[in-house]
Structure 1
Amino acid sequence: MELSSRQKEILRLVETHEPIIAEQLAELLGVSKPTIRFDLSLLVTLGYLDAKPKVGYFIGKGRNGQSESVQKLLSTEVQHVQSVPVVVREVTSLYDAVVTLFLEDVGSLIVTDEFNYLSGVVSRKDLLKTLLGNTQATSIPVSMIMTRFPNVVTVSPEDTILDAARKMVNNKVDTLPVVEPVDVTSKDSGDYRLHVVGRVTKTTMTKVLLDLASPDPQ
């Protein structure tokens, strides 16, 4: 797995300052601690870093030192960690979408048509950009501002959680709809539909990695 530029910078900083706690790393990177929690968990799980409570992070012994965790990370499928999708219909108003977003405490909503086929995804950022300073926009449907299928990044239940994490990082998204194709034979022609069966989020991935990794040093 190729590390991101931030993950490489974390390794450089740890090598220079080890042992170092998460708060110090975040300060050196100019970000908040929650922003790098996923990166730290992944680096520990893959063996690039080791972590001791009350001490901090330091350079690990490599992948071999975490072989069991790495094997689990490579083999665990999305279907074993996915959660129930938070879905709204294409005709849902932006007002109702905002209410759903906050009631469900999520960062993005999956949009489907009347047959529960994937239509798109609308994020908190999409909603804020549209509604700030434009109170008249609350009644327009989410279909007007959503990212439309097939431009939505998705995963299948059989994909590994590592595949899902890579898609999130590479595409800079916080939610992936878990989907199953309705008609595989027509996929090459572009005339196919995806049935929404779940979702995975950055929170999902962080929880998985924290379960695999060592306790987070304070």
Structure 2
Amino acid sequence: MQLTARQHEIMEIVKQHEPITGDQIAEMIGVSRPTIRSDLAVLVMLGMLDAKPKVGYFLGTQMTTAAETLKQLHEKRVKDVMSRPVIVKESTTIQDAVITMFLEDVGNLVVAGENGELAGVVSRKDLLKFTLGNAAAPQMPVSMVMTRQPKVVTVSPEDPVLDAAAKMIHHQVDSLPVIEESGAIAGSISTETTTRLLLELAAAEVSAHERDRSVNR
């Protein structure tokens, strides 16, 4: 259900001044109390507002839970959700890279240089395109097909998860290497990881909402 402009205005007033009476809301909008009676009833019915006699209106459970979920999402850092990186050396053969990729069930491999620094990344698509019709490909080094630094898009452990997700969408990649300030490879973050996080937070919000509803019955 879409809220009207006046209902949005009421929500903003309550958010800033809760608890607040209906008469005070009407005065701030510049209308009479009966004019907004139906708006207040709709917002309470939707769980967006709650009301207590002699206290007034305040944000409902649905709104406070959603706000808390959004806050948690903004506070999550890459280091909180990143996974162990699957690393191969530049000298690793394409055949061994393919085997590693399938054994580890990942879509991308991080390629490390001689000193353990990030040298590049290689994806299933890269390997497939290179090996099709190329009989010599399996014994070639993975460095022949990888995307090299500095063209690799990376994130740091302290970056917000939302920033990492935005980078993956913008650059149309499934995962990003997580690199420390020192240049060390710290981990990897994928679209699967960010999607799982969103689902977990959404499930927690639904559970909290259902629990509050059962308590208030």
Question: For this structure pair, what is the TM-score category when the shorter chain's length is used for normalisation?
Answer: 0.5 to 0.7
- Tell me, what secondary structure is at the counterpart of 1:122? strand
Q: Normalization by structure 1: what TM-score? A: 0.63
Percent identity among equivalent residues? 51
Alignment length (residue pairs):
146
Aligned-pair CA distance for 1:65: 6.7
Match of 2:133 in 1: 133
State the alpha-carbon separation in 2 of the partners of residues 214 and 199 from structure 1.
Answer: 24
Structure-to-structure mapping, 1:51-130, within 5 angstroms? 66-130=66-130
Equivalent position amino acid for 2:199 in 1: L
SS in structure 2 at match of 1:133: coil
* Structure with greater contact order relative to length (CA < 8 Å, sep ≥ 6): 1
1:211 equivalent to 2:213? Answer: no
Please, what is the CA RMSD of the aligned residues?
A: 2.2
Task: Give 5+ residue unaligned stretches, structure 2.
Answer: 3-61, 205-217
Structure 1 runs of 4+ with >6 Å offset: 62-65
Q: Distance in 2 between matches of 1:99 and 1:200?
A: 21
Q: Tell me the distance in 1 between the aligned counterparts of 2:203 and 2:197.
A: 12
Distance 1:63 1:75 in 2: 18
User: How far 1:200 sits from its partner (Å)?
Assistant: 0.6
- Find 1:201's aligned residue among 190, 194, 217: 190
Q: Larger Cα Rg: Structure 1 or Structure 2?
A: 2
Instruction: Name the counterpart of 1:167.
Output: 167
- For 1:142 and 1:201, locate their aligned partners in 2 and report how far apart those are by CA, in whole Å: 21
Q: Tell me the SS of whatever aligns to 1:205.
A: helix
CA contact 1:156–1:179 (8 Å) conserved in 2? yes
The two structures have a TM-score, normalised by structure 2, of: 0.63
Structure 1 or 2: more helix by fraction = 2
Q: Secondary structure at the match of 1:213?
A: helix
Question: Deviations along 1:26-46, whole A, 9 cap, x unmatched?
Answer: xxxxxxxxxxxxxxxxxxxxx
Give, in angstroms, the shift of residue 64 of structure 1: 7.3
Unaligned runs of 5+ in 1: 1-14, 16-61, 183-193
